[in-house]
Amino acid sequence: MNAPHLEYVFEIRAAIAPEIHIGRGPDEKLSFTAVTGGSIAGPSLSGEVLAGGGDWAVERSGTAQLEARYMIRTADGAVIDVLNRGYFRASADVLARMEQGENVPADDPGLYFRTAPVFQTDALPYRWLTENQFIGVARDEDGEVCIRVYLVT
């Protein structure tokens, strides 16, 4: 069996509002972060992230399980629904650097921020998005969540 390959297709840059703490219990924390807009650019797709939707996170033992739901509009006007699930964790050093406003690169060994986006649309030019598996490698940069999206081949 051959190992899968990753092909870079585009980057999502989602602008976000401040996190809203919801609560939960002594061993986990539930929060919500609204998506307020953004952009998509890359060799296979370009457009904008629409305002609305957001990211729910449940943090347990230092790892946040993420579930984001939002929409994007392509440069030619097609609307695509995005459901993006993943995980975030960072070392104490990386968290401190991020809180000071530093843009920590996605490949920093103290940062794990990975997602698996799923797309829905009836726009024929983008049907390929609905029929394939994707992996996202994410980072926070300049107040946005940036997700480099790769097609798994």
Q: Where are the domains of the chain?
A: 6-152
Q: What is the pLDDT of residue 99?
A: 85
HSE, CB side, 13 Å, CA atoms: give it for residue 120: 7
Q: What is the pLDDT of residue 54?
A: 96
Cα torsion for 102, 87, 85, 150, to the nearest 10°? Answer: 70
pLDDT in tens, 35-52: 999 999 999 999 999 999
pLDDT in tens, 109-148: 888 999 999 999 999 999 999 999 999 999 988 889 999 9
6-152: CATH architecture: Beta Barrel (2.40)
Average per-residue pLDDT for the chain? 94
Question: Does the global pTM surpass 0.75?
Answer: yes
Please list, in sequence order, all residues whose beta carbon lies within 8 angstroms of the beta carbon of residue 77, skipping any fewer than 6 positions away: none
